Amino acid sequence: MKAVLSIRCPICGQEVKLPDDVLPGEVVEHDCGVVLEVVIKDNAISLKPLEGVSEDWGE
Amino acid sequence: MVRIALVYDVARWEEKALIKAAMSRSVYIEPIHLKSIPLYIGNGLQRPLGDADIVLQRSLSHSIALESTVILESLGYRVVNNSTAIALVHDKIWTLCRLLQHRIPIPQSAVAFSEEAGRKVAENLGYPIVIKPVNGSWGRLVSLAENSEALRTIIEHRSYIPNPTFRIHLMQEFVKKPGRDIRIFVVGEEAPVAIYRVSNHWITNTARGGKAVPAPISSELEDLAIRAAKAVNAEIAGIDVFEDPRRGYIVNEVNAVPDFKNTVAVTGYDLPGKIIDYLIEQVKR
């Protein structure tokens, strides 16, 4: 388990809080309206805008 | 201890809920982000998911779901849903043909490969008529042609989309739904939970604003849903059902990696737990 994290939104620069069980590829909706995706590389966590998913299943 | 690998490309509420459900059952579950690892095809390299007893496929992308499942199956893993199910529901035409072969009622449907053929279909099935992409979900790019001019426009627009599948026009009768359709979930031999997707708009997907409301499950509906899942070889599925005033239940689509956040929210049913219990049962058989 990782500690609770607070990092910057790559779009608006404001704080984004991540849960303690955050996963790579996790979708995070930020207050600024952008949908972000968690990237975990070499134990470092960052965020990037979620790429459009061209194929999906849905509800 | 049962070991489950959950493979995914994007982690949403559903994937986190499945992980929590497994952890609450003292089952070992390993989330595997498919974009973070290479998948080698054979050649004696290390098995990518170690000694997982069973794999739950939760990729949002149809293509990633299908290709990764085929590879994992070739390495000896048992994947739910399997590659046959994912391939069959990847294409709505394949799904409809499978449902038909299993005598499951479907909307009147036809495929046209040209505007001329499309006009003939519309003359036979009547207006308004629905034109759908052969794959995709959330009701995206599903169109309704009220008349021949609208149909011509829709087909012309589709012809300029740089994807050859958009030259394949899946056309269906417009089923006069009672302001809602049904999403019913199948897990193994059961159909434990269903919702109505209520909307004033003819596209009722919750991703498009349809309101989720708990729906009762009659024995007829349960039987139909289970048969529909079996028709496409799916063990876990979301089945979309129309209620036609004259013909009764009609199966519209089958989803092999279904969303269920809204279903859990409005019904309170522990669908993630049900899915994990099913996987445990499969391993112990």
Domain match, B114 and B249 both: no
The pLDDT value recorded for residue A2 is: 47
Domain match, B83 and B157 both: no
The pLDDT value recorded for residue A57 is: 54
Q: Which residues of chain B have pLDDT under 50?
A: none
**Length reported for chain A:** 59
Q: Which of residues 1-20 of A touch B (CB under 8 A)?
A: none
Query: Which residue in A26, A40, A56 is closest to B60 by CB distance?
Result: A56
Domain match, B96 and B197 both: yes
Residue type, B175: V
Contact A38, A49 (CB under 8 A): no
Kindly report the CATH number assigned to the domain that includes residue B249: 3.30.470.20
Q: How many domains does chain B have?
A: 3
CB contact set of B116 (below 8 Å; sequence gap of 6+): none
* CB spacing of A24 vs B262 below 8 angstroms: no
The pLDDT value recorded for residue A56 is: 55
The pLDDT value recorded for residue B140 is: 77
The pLDDT value recorded for residue A52 is: 66
Q: Judge whether B139 lies within some domain.
A: yes
pLDDT, tens digit (0-9, with 9 covering 90-100), for A3-57: 578 899 998 999 999 988 999 999 998 889 889 999 998 888 999 998 766 555 5
Domain match, B98 and B114 both: no
The pLDDT value recorded for residue B23 is: 96
B16 Cβ under 8 Å from any chain A Cβ? yes
Domain match, B75 and B101 both: no
| Strand partners for B269 | none
The pLDDT value recorded for residue B123 is: 96
Domain match, B201 and B262 both: yes
The pLDDT value recorded for residue B165 is: 87
d(CA B192, CA B31): 25
Kindly report the CATH number assigned to the domain that includes residue B161: 3.30.1490.20
B238 Cβ under 8 Å from any chain A Cβ? yes
Kindly report the CATH number assigned to the domain that includes residue B26: 3.40.50.20
Of the residues B173, B198, B229, the one at which a domain ends: B173
A51 Cβ under 8 Å from any chain B Cβ? no
Percent of chain B with pLDDT over 70: 98
Q: Which residues of A touch B33 (CB under 8 A)?
A: 23-25
| Strand partners for B30 | B5
Give me the residue label for tokens 């499951």: B104
Burial (CB count within 10 angstroms: exposed 0-12, middle 13-18, buried 19+), residue B190: middle
Domain match, B132 and B266 both: no
d(CA A27, CA B282): 30
Domain match, B96 and B196 both: yes
Q: Judge whether B275 lies within some domain.
A: no
Residue type, A28: V
Task: Domain of residue B237: give its range.
Answer: 90-105+176-270
Of the residues B123, B141, B173, the one at which a domain ends: B173
Q: What is the CATH number of domain A5-49?
A: 2.20.28
Domain match, B238 and B259 both: yes
Residue A1 reports pLDDT greater than 50: no
Q: Judge whether B263 lies within some domain.
A: yes
Give me the residue label for tokens 């290709």: B67
The pLDDT value recorded for residue A5 is: 84
d(CA B134, CA B142): 10
Distances (CA, A) of B157 to A27, B118, B163: 32, 14, 12
Global ipTM: 0.75
